[in-house]
Structure 1
Amino acid sequence: MIRFGIDNWFRNSLLLLTLSATLVGCSEPQIKPSAEALQHQLVQLNGMLRRTEAEHIPPLPFDEPYLKQRHELYQALGAVAATPELSYLVIAERFPERYLPWPIYSDISVVLQTQTPQVRQQWFAFVHARLQQAQESRIYLTRQELDYIQTALQTFPASQAKQQLVEYLAGYKPRSRSGLDQIPNGSEWYQSKLNYFSQQTHAPLVWMQMIAARLPAYANESHRETETLDFDKAWLQEFITKRCEPVRGLDWQFDYVNLVETVALCQVNLNDMQKQLWLTIMMLDVGIHYQGWNEQLATQFITEHLDLTADQVSRVLQQVARYPGAVFVLWPVL
């Protein structure tokens, strides 16, 4: 009887000690990563989209492990530093960006040159599969995007996966216009961009009315300042960062510069020619991405409002196609 009592006492004491240790452990505050640490992880994750000093081989952008890890980083950032930019990026997760995995404005082509043949094979096979999935959902590349990928593929050594992708793209039919309106849910995606970059909530048609009311004031201006800008970069980003101290952000598309905060914290003074330029591009932006303007109509609109060469007109159209809605970040200073 005595031994039985001792055994019970021992077991009960051990249980209490274990429970106490567990409760103590639970009561200790969990150390959350800082916003800076999470931003660093995001930059590393996007290492193939935007080159960085990678600590390891960057994951393939837009595959399932990448999407899962990016979502988790967004959620973790939201817990320590929720911002309008982060909310915008979270909203973008709902839209079909994942089905267009080789963006023109990315560094993928350059980064792939430094990777092993196995990584390149994996990437070509992934792009092939993703574009096929996109077609099933009626999501298609633009002619500009298709030409870019086909040209990039020519710079890589021959391989089975590359050849299969080349043959697939040879018979690919891109969408007829470059606007987001031709993508499922594209109008909603475009609206989210307008809301974020302008920090105002207006329907696209209201924006067109507001822009049209301002444009006549600068109708007699002649503009050739575009000659000084680098069209291979984000044109708008270059224009802003030449005038303002960049604020660090989360979006790889703009080299991790938060354009909204940068403009908000900077005194951007535009002359009449610059105002005419950006108002014209805003109207063009809405026309292409919401109204469904084709290249002919867009070109006609540009030449009626800006004195540009044919090459400059082409490059303006490329920039508007690549960065929908972003130009509205300048609305507060117009």
Structure 2
Amino acid sequence: MYKTFFVSLLLCLNLVGCTDKSDSFSSFDEARSALKSLNTVLILGQESNNKKITEENIVYSNEYLDKRHAIYQQLMTMKLTPNQITQVNYLVIAERFPERFFPWPAQVDVLHNMSLFNRSASTVEQTISWLKFTQAKLGIAKQSNLKLNKLEYSLLQEYVAQAIVNKATQGAIKSHIRAFSNYLDNYKPRGSVGLRGLSNGSEWYQSKLNYYGNAVNSPLEWVVIINKQIKALESAVINVKFKQNHTKSFAVQYLSEEPLINGLDWQTHYLDLPAMASNTKLSNNDKLLMLTMMETDIGIHYHAWTIDQAKVNLSKRLKVSEQTAQYLVEDIILYPGQSFSFCGQICY
């Protein structure tokens, strides 16, 4: 028995000794930097044109998932603030949901981003590998009835079409892009655009509501709370400023002039949106805007509203233009739950 114990102890010591110290982080900020480096093809850094893409940068590859999980696990051992702990718990919970089956997040033109990296043979090889990996993952996902929604599908088709006609696209890659385009031509997206249309989608959506809303309420409970607040506000014409793409969510853009609070999630551009929103002063018009976004969010992701139904609700509540309604609905589809970051100020 003692011999077995000492052999096990020696093995553990060897494992510790072999651990790459460069992958150890002593602070929240160091771990955050590691996540930013890992997600570099999703959100470009200033150094991207001089950087090579590694296996770990292939989004949702086994190497990527292992690296990200290791960073999360280290964060869980650190002494963090309550807000930081909440962020880490949210991201750890998200690991169990089906996001990993969709290696091309539709809000980001990953193919274009990869073309901006160091143009070496290895970068070309990694881009081709990523396209094949994405197609294979989408095929595996379909076997589990996990499919892109219509908006995600349309955006991917748009990115691919742009890459094919772009003269700067390298010839070695273009044939593989065409092959992926042919695959998409025969792909049938799911009917529902909301998360509830996915396996475990309702649970995934609930985790987002819990995090961004900072409260454990069911979607139906949220509807009661939101409608009560909306009734206290008058309908108004809302002027909304936004970029023409969805690389940054509307919530991130809205809070861009507020004091920044660091976060861990690439989908929030590494900002702590609930903490930032809690410090923001909202006019009555802005309160109505955010409440209507929340109401529409639940409509899409829980009640399975169509895009047209969601646009009608936004136009009715806010009297916004067709273009603005379309943009906001797309934002809600691509960034579920983020509007609930403002709940701390306006829901109670």
TM class by shorter-chain length? 0.7 to 0.9
Find the aligned partners of 1:107 and 1:295 in 2 and give their Cα distance: 22
Does residue 230 in structure 1 map to residue 243 in structure 2? yes
The match for 2:216 is: 201
Q: TM-score, normalised by structure 2?
A: 0.82
The match for 2:74 is: 76
Amino acid in structure 2 at the alignment position of 1:57: I
**Consecutive unaligned residues in structure 2, runs of 5 or more:** 1-9, 118-122, 164-168
State the 1:79 CA deviation: 0.8
The match for 1:320 is: 332
Amino acid in structure 2 at the alignment position of 1:303: S
State the 1:178 CA deviation: 1.2
The match for 2:139 is: 132
CA-to-aligned-CA distance 1:172-225 (integer Å, 9 cap, x gap): 1111121001000000000000000011110000000111111122233222x2
CA-to-aligned-CA distance 1:222-244 (integer Å, 9 cap, x gap): 22x21x232523111111232x2
CA-to-aligned-CA distance 1:267-292 (integer Å, 9 cap, x gap): x2211111111111110000100111
SS in 2 for 1:308: coil
Q: 1:287 to 1:234 in 2, by over 3 A?
A: same
Q: Cα RMSD over matched residues?
A: 2.2
Does residue 253 in structure 1 map to residue 267 in structure 2? yes
Find the aligned partners of 2:98 and 2:334 in 1 and give their Cα distance: 15
Name the stretch that deviates more: 43-52 or 200-209. Answer: 43-52
Does residue 175 in structure 1 map to residue 190 in structure 2? yes
The match for 2:25 is: 33
Does residue 123 in structure 1 map to residue 130 in structure 2? yes
Residue among 58, 65, 68 paired with 1:67: 65
Give the percent of matched residue pairs that are identical in Structure 1 and Structure 2: 30
The match for 2:157 is: 150
Task: Give yes or no for contact 1:142–1:178 (8 Å, CA) kept in 2.
Answer: yes
Residue among 329, 341, 344 paired with 1:329: 341
Matched positions, count: 304
SS in 2 for 1:110: helix
Amino acid in structure 2 at the alignment position of 1:120: T
Find the aligned partners of 1:196 and 1:147 in 2 and give their Cα distance: 29
Task: Give yes or no for contact 1:197–1:260 (8 Å, CA) kept in 2.
Answer: yes
**Matched ranges for 1:83-102 at <5 A:** 83-102=85-104
Find the aligned partners of 1:135 and 1:297 in 2 and give their Cα distance: 27
Find the aligned partners of 2:315 and 2:32 in 1 and give their Cα distance: 42
The match for 2:303 is: 291
Q: 1:38 to 1:303 in 2, by over 3 A?
A: closer
Task: Give yes or no for contact 2:252–2:273 (8 Å, CA) kept in 1.
Answer: yes
State the 1:56 CA deviation: 4.3
Task: Give yes or no for contact 1:197–1:329 (8 Å, CA) kept in 2.
Answer: yes
Amino acid in structure 2 at the alignment position of 1:33: F
SS in 2 for 1:276: helix
Find the aligned partners of 1:74 and 1:106 in 2 and give their Cα distance: 23
Does residue 188 in structure 1 map to residue 203 in structure 2? yes
Amino acid in structure 2 at the alignment position of 1:49: L
Q: 1:189 to 1:136 in 2, by over 3 A?
A: same
Find the aligned partners of 1:38 and 1:217 in 2 and give their Cα distance: 43
Residue among 33, 44, 57 paired with 2:53: 57
**Consecutive unaligned residues in structure 1, runs of 5 or more:** 1-18
Find the aligned partners of 2:273 and 2:317 in 1 and give their Cα distance: 26
Find the aligned partners of 1:139 and 1:61 in 2 and give their Cα distance: 18
Task: Give yes or no for contact 1:191–1:204 (8 Å, CA) kept in 2.
Answer: yes
Amino acid in structure 1 at the alignment position of 2:220: L
Does residue 46 in structure 1 map to residue 39 in structure 2? yes
Q: TM-score, normalised by structure 1?
A: 0.85
Find the aligned partners of 1:314 and 1:57 in 2 and give their Cα distance: 34
State the 1:81 CA deviation: 4.0
**Matched ranges for 1:208-219 at <5 A:** 208-219=223-234
Residue among 192, 206, 221 paired with 2:236: 221
